[in-house]
């Protein structure tokens, strides 16, 4: 049965029949959230070069995981390029709440946008909503945001420790824009007292 809103390329046939499950990594957030994890993955439904994923199957997997919220960091241009132009509509049709913050590939968000994303992430986590974040490969922008979340949740975690945690989880290519991350995290650490609504008293 075809589900409205999915890329018509999903109907191209048997080539996706044997596709591997969508690789999903779970980042532990203890001790701030003792039982909470944040999911990270690559772009569901991606059909680019040698990647031939089926959007309907990928979202079905996310539904089976009980995903309630998804943060998407791909731009609309990227969704077109990677042949998943209807991804956001497809999420919404399945009752998944979408938080779309387009960040150009290779860039880091400005401090205000970063703090907004972190606030929404924490709202989801504190409401016990099962949440994932993704960009294209699940290595750059997604890991950068996840690392900033680790920094926000702890007064003792350093930027390098956050990088190491994400690389242990997602591989050595995680957080590809190191210089931008170090700059963003340094600015973030300086400004979080004034911008972070969750700052400890």
pTM, 2 dp: 0.83
Per-residue pLDDT at 182: 61
Task: Tell me whether residue 76 is in a domain.
Answer: yes
Mean pLDDT of the chain: 85
Task: Tell me whether residue 24 is in a domain.
Answer: no
Percent of the chain, pLDDT > 90?
60
How would residue 5 be classed by pLDDT, with cut points 50, 70 and 90?
very low
Task: Tell me whether residue 180 is in a domain.
Answer: yes
How open is the CA angle 29-30-34, to the nearest 5 degrees?
110
Task: Tell me whether residue 144 is in a domain.
Answer: yes
Higher-confidence residue of 126 and 3: namely 126
Tell me the mean pLDDT in the region 93-104. 97
**Closest among 194, 125, 185 to 159, alpha carbons compared:** 185
Q: At 102, list the tokens.
A: 């387009």
Tell me the mean pLDDT in the region 60-76. 98
Question: Phi and psi at residue 43, in whole multiples of 5°?
Answer: -65, 115
User: CB neighbours of 70 closer than 8 A, spacing ≥ 6?
Assistant: 62, 91, 96, 97, 98, 99, 131, 132, 133, 134
Task: Tell me whether residue 4 is in a domain.
Answer: no
Question: Is 131 within 8 Å of 121 (Cβ atoms)?
Answer: yes
181-194 pLDDT, tens digit each: 666 666 665 665 45
How many helices, marked H, and strands, marked E, lie in the chain? 7, 7
Total domains in the chain come to 1
What CATH number corresponds to the domain at position 98? 3.90.190.10
Task: Tell me whether residue 101 is in a domain.
Answer: yes
Per-residue pLDDT at 191: 61
Active site members? 135
Domain of residue 61 covers 30-193
Q: Is the pLDDT of residue 90 over 80?
A: yes
How open is the CA angle 108-144-153, to the nearest 5 degrees?
120
How would residue 3 be classed by pLDDT, with cut points 50, 70 and 90?
very low
Task: Tell me whether residue 108 is in a domain.
Answer: yes
Task: Tell me whether residue 1 is in a domain.
Answer: no
């Amino acid at each position: 049965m075809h589900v409205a809103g999915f890329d018509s390329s999903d109907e191209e046939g048997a080539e996706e029949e044997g596709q591997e499950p969508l690789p999903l990594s779970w980042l532990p957030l203890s001790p701030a959230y003792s039982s909470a994890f944040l999911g990270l993955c690559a772009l569901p439904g991606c059909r680019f070069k040698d990647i031939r994923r089926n959007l309907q199957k990928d979202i079905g997997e996310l539904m089976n995981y009980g995903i309630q919220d998804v943060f998407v960091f791909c731009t609309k241009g990227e969704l077109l390029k990677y042949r998943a132009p209807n991804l956001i509509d497809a999420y919404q049709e399945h009752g998944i709440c979408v938080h779309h913050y387009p960040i150009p590939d290779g860039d880091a968000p400005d401090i205000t946008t970063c703090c907004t994303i972190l606030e929404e992430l924490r709202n989801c986590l504190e409401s016990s909503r099962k949440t994932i974040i993704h960009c294209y490969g699940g290595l750059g922008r997604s890991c950068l945001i996840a690392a900033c979340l680790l920094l926000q949740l702890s007064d003792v975690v350093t930027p390098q420790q956050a990088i190491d945690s994400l690389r242990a989880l997602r591989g050595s290519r995680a957080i590809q824009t190191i210089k931008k991350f170090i700059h963003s995290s340094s600015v973030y650490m300086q400004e979080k007292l004034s911008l972070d609504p969750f700052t400890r008293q």
